[in-house]
Amino acid sequence: MRAARALLSIDQRRLAELSGLSVPTIQRMEASEWMIRGNVDSLMKLIAALEAAGIELIGEGATSQAGGRGVRLKVGFNPARASGADEVETGSGGSPP
């Protein structure tokens, strides 16, 4: 989870917002060793949020350069979209400041 957040340049609070989970739930999941622990609904929300944000989960036995499990950005994905960095506030005239 930390690696996925690092790829997206987001913090635990932003991942909680994207997944609809609480920050303490994200913290507990990240504190799990070896395997993320949580109920099925929370895990499904987390996976859906990461995939929607542009993360590709690499499963055991899937093709990866180093082998094993991991995460990577989807091809052609802009991580600024997940962090909200590409959101530009507009002034009263409707154009970016």
For 5-29, write each residue's pLDDT tens digit. 998 999 999 999 999 999 999 999 9
Which segment of 4-8, 9-13, 58-62, 85-89 scores lowest on mean pLDDT? 85-89
β 70-73/55-58 pair status? antiparallel
* pTM to 2 decimal places: 0.63
**Does the structure show a pLDDT above 70 at 90?**
no
Would you say 30 and 1 are in contact if contact means Cβ atoms under 8 Å apart? yes
User: With contact defined as beta carbons under 8 Å apart, do 60 and 68 qualify?
Assistant: yes
pLDDT at 21: 96
Beta strands in the chain (DSSP E): 55-58, 70-73
Given a cut of 50, whether residue 88 has pLDDT beyond it is: no
Overall average pLDDT of the 46-70 stretch: 74
What's the pLDDT at 5? Answer: 92
Contact 4, 55 (CB under 8 A): yes
Q: Is 38 exposed, middle or buried (0-12, 13-18, 19+ CB in 10 A)?
A: middle
Q: Compute the average pLDDT of residues 62-91.
A: 56
Q: 29 and 16 in contact (C-beta within 8 Å)?
A: no
CATH topology for 2-80?
Answer: 434 Repressor (Amino-terminal Domain) (1.10.260)
User: Tokens 């990461």 correspond to what residue?
Assistant: 50
H-run or E-run covering 26: helix 23-31
